[in-house]
Amino acid sequence: MADVTAALFFAEMRFDPKDPHNPDSDRFVLSKGHAAPILYAAWAEAGAFDRSELLELRTIGSDLEGHPTPRLPFVDVATGSLGQGICAAIGTALNARRIKSSYRTYVLLGDGESAEGSVWEAADVATMDGLDNLCGITDVNGLGQSRATMWQHDMEQFARRWRAFGWHAIVIDGHDMSAILDALDEARRTKGQPTMILARTIKGKGVSFVEGKGGWHGKAFKKGEELDRALAELEKQFVPVPEGGSNLASRIPKPASTLRAVATPRPVAPPAYKMGDEVATREAYGAAIAKLGEADPRVVALDADVKNSTFSDKFEQAFPDRFYQNFIAEQVMVGAAMGLAARGAIPFPSTFACFLSRAADFIRMAAISNVNIKLAGSHAGVSIGEDGPSQMALEDLAMCRTAPNYTVLYPCDAVSTERLVALMAYHPGPAYMRTSRPKTPVIYANDEAFTIGGLKVLRESAKDVATVIGAGVTVFEALEAYGQLKASGVAIRVIDLYSVAPVDAAGLVAAGRATGGRLITVEDHYAAGGIGDAVAEAVAAAGLTVQRLAVREIARSGRPDELLDRYGISAKHIVEAVRALEARG
C-alpha cells in the first residue's frame, strides 16, 4: 500500500496537513483500518506531527492506536471493523454536495474486506446518488488474515462486481506509480458515477522473504537478524533524497477554498399540540425533524425505505435535498450518517428500531468515534401488535445504552418527542431516540421543559406506597394502574423516565425513599439491558432495589393490548405488583 498511499498523499489529494478539518479538504478514509501504520506514516511525512511520535505506536500514551480513531484530528471516523469506512465515505461524499464543496473523498479498502455485505450496500447507494466525487481503491493483495482471500489475484472477479454495481472500475498494477497516478486522474475525470481502482499488489513488497507470503498478517519483524535483513533490503531501494530534503509536504496541493456563509440556526417554535390529542410518537418525531430542518440547515435525514412508517417522509417533503434514501440497507444508512456527522451535518438516520440492530456494529463504532449521529428507531416493543416478533425491537435500549457515551431518549407523547428531538440534535455525541407505533395522548403542555438526564414525576402524594417507573407506552399503563389503585384508596407515584441514558439517579433515589423503597419498572423491552437495569444501577448505591416488569419470553403476533397483558407489562400487572410489594411490607 506504500505506493498507493504515497500517490494519494503527495500527488493527488488537496489538503492542509496542519488543518485537517478544513471543510474543503479532500477526505481520506482508511477502510482497512488495520493498516494504520501507513496512515500514520503518511500524515507524519505530510507534516501533521513529528516523525518521532511514530515510535509510540500502540502505546497507552499515544493517540497512534492499533486502529485509527478520531482522537487523531485527521481521522473522520474510527475504522478497524471492515466494510465500515466505505459507508462513512458515502457520507463524506454526500456532505461535499450538502456544503457545495468540490472536495473529493478517497477510501482505501482491502480485498478481503470486500466480502462484507456493507461494501455492496455502499456500492449501490453511491451509484444511485451518482457520487463521482468518491474514489475507492481496493488493495488486492490476495491474502486474508488466516488464508488466501476468496478471489486472490483474479482481478476480473473484482472488476465485474464493481461494474455490475454501476461503478467505473480500473484495474492496475498497484506498484506501478504511473498507473496509480493515471488511474486517479481518470477517476477525477469520470462524471456521474463513482470510481473503484482495483490495485493488484504484493503483500510485503520489497522484502524478499515475506513478499506475497501468508502468515505475516499483523506480525512485526523479530528484532535482530530478521529485522536487520528487512531494513537492509528496503534501504537498498531508497531513492536518493534531493539536496535540502525531499520536502514532500510542500508539494501537497492546498484545498480549494470555498466562500460560504456560516449557517446560523434559527430558533425553533415551541410544540403546538393540544393536550389529549392522540398522536404516535413516531409521527411526532417526523414532524419534529422537519421543523428542526427548517431552523437548521445542518440537519439531514436518512431512510432505509420505511419513511412512511417512521414519518421521516415529512422531512423529505420539506427538504428533499437533505434527505438521503438508502433503500433497505441499514448499515450504509448508519455509516453514511457517521460520515456526514464527521463533516458537520446533524444526521437523523431512522428505521424500525429492530432493524437498527442490523447496524449494531456501526452503532458500536459510532461510540468509539464519538460521532454526532442521532439515531431514531420506531415500532418499539410488543405494542406494535400483529406484525409479530421479527418487527418488534425488544433489545434496542440495551444495544444503545451499553456504550458509555450514548444518550438514549424514549418519549411517551408528542410534546416530549418534539422537545427531545431538539435536545438530542444539539447534545454532542451519539444519541438514540426510541418511538412507538400506537397513538398515545398528549400529556404535556407545549411549554413543558425537558432535559437530557431528566425525568417527570406525573403523579405524587405524601401517601404513595410505591413508585412505578415507565417510559413510552408503559407510562400510560402506569397512569391506568394509578387510577385503578386510587379507586381502591392506594396511592402510587408515577414517573416518566424519558431519559434512559443518562438517568436521573437523584430523582429516582428520592422517589424510592419517599415510597418505602418500593420501585417498580415497567418496560416494553426485554428484562435485561433496559430500563430496569438502568434504574437498578442508579439506585444501588442508596441501597435500593428494583422490581422489573418486562418482556421475558419470545413474543408473538396479537393485538397490542393483548400482548402488553400477556407479557406482563399492562396496568393489571402493575396493580398486582404494587399490591404484592405492599403486602410484603
Q: Using the Cα atoms of residue 142, residue 83, residue 116 and residue 154 in order, give the sign of their dihedral.
A: negative
CA end-to-end distance (rounded Å), the chain: 70
Q: Smallest distance, Å, CB 167 to a second copy?
A: 11
Q: How far is CA 430 from CA 406, 409, 424, in A?
A: 5, 12, 9
Choosing from 16, 562, 576, 582, the residue that interacts with a second copy (CB under 8 A) is: 562
List binders of a second copy among 197-256 (CB under 8 A). none
User: How many CB atoms are closer than 10 A to CB 416?
Assistant: 26
151: amino acid identity, one letter: W
C-alpha dihedral (88, 94, 99, 101), degrees to nearest 10: 90
112 near a second copy, rule: CB under 8 A: yes
List binders of a second copy among 345-404 (CB under 8 A). 354-355, 357-358, 360-361, 364-365, 367-368, 370, 386-391, 394-395, 398-399, 401-404
Number of H helices and number of E strands within the chain? 20, 19
259: amino acid identity, one letter: L
* Choice between 25 and 326, CB closer to a second copy: 326
Do strands 407-409 and 499-501 pair parallel, antiparallel, or not at all (unpaired)? antiparallel
Only one of the segments 7-15, 147-155, 243-251, 277-285 lies at the binding site for a second copy (rule: CB under 8 A); that segment is 147-155
List binders of a second copy among 159-198 (CB under 8 A). 160-161, 163-165
Q: How far is CA 236 from CA 81, 220, 243, 452, 551, in A?
A: 35, 20, 19, 60, 67
Only one of the segments 22-30, 55-63, 99-107, 491-499 lies at the binding site for a second copy (rule: CB under 8 A); that segment is 55-63
Choosing from 95, 105, 138, 149, the residue that interacts with a second copy (CB under 8 A) is: 149
Q: What is the DSSP letter of 192?
A: S
What is the pattern of x (binds a second copy, CB under 8 A) and - over residues 395-424?
A: x--xx-xxxxx-------------------
Only one of the segments 59-67, 202-210, 338-346, 474-482 lies at the binding site for a second copy (rule: CB under 8 A); that segment is 59-67
560 near a second copy, rule: CB under 8 A: no
548-566: buried (b, 16+ CB within 10 Å) or exposed (e) per residue? bbbbeeebebbebeebbbb
What is the pattern of x (binds a second copy, CB under 8 A) and - over residues 275-314?
A: ----------------------------x-xxxxx---x-
* Choice between 31 and 195, CB closer to a second copy: 31
What is the pattern of x (binds a second copy, CB under 8 A) and - over residues 4-43?
A: -----------------------------x----------
- Alpha carbons 131 and 190: distance in angstroms, whole number: 10
* Choice between 405 and 446, CB closer to a second copy: 405
List all residues 6 or more positions away from 486 whose beta carbon is below 8 Å from its beta carbon.
none
* Choice between 195 and 326, CB closer to a second copy: 326
Choosing from 88, 288, 332, 452, the residue that interacts with a second copy (CB under 8 A) is: 332
Do strands 27-30 and 105-110 pair parallel, antiparallel, or not at all (unpaired)? parallel
User: How many CB atoms are closer than 10 A to CB 246?
Assistant: 13
Task: List the catalytic residues.
Answer: 330
Grid coordinates representing 332 are: 450504509
559 near a second copy, rule: CB under 8 A: yes
Choosing from 329, 420, 492, 574, the residue that interacts with a second copy (CB under 8 A) is: 329
Q: Smallest distance, Å, CB 212 to a second copy?
A: 18
* Choice between 284 and 382, CB closer to a second copy: 382
Q: Smallest distance, Å, CB 543 to a second copy?
A: 6
* Choice between 92 and 350, CB closer to a second copy: 350
Partners of residue 348 on adjacent β-strands = 301
Burial of residue 55, with CB atoms counted within 10 A of its CB: 0-12 exposed, 13-18 middle, 19 or more buried: exposed
Only one of the segments 173-181, 291-299, 324-332, 444-452 lies at the binding site for a second copy (rule: CB under 8 A); that segment is 324-332
* Choice between 109 and 415, CB closer to a second copy: 109
* Choice between 470 and 530, CB closer to a second copy: 530
Q: Smallest distance, Å, CB 383 to a second copy?
A: 14
Query: What does the angle CA 501 – CA 504 – CA 508 come to, to the nearest 5 degrees?
Result: 125
List binders of a second copy among 498-557 (CB under 8 A). 501, 526-530, 532-534, 536-537, 540-541, 543-548, 551-554, 556-557
User: How many CB atoms are closer than 10 A to CB 243?
Assistant: 5
What SS3 string covers 253-266?
CCCCCCCCCCCCCC
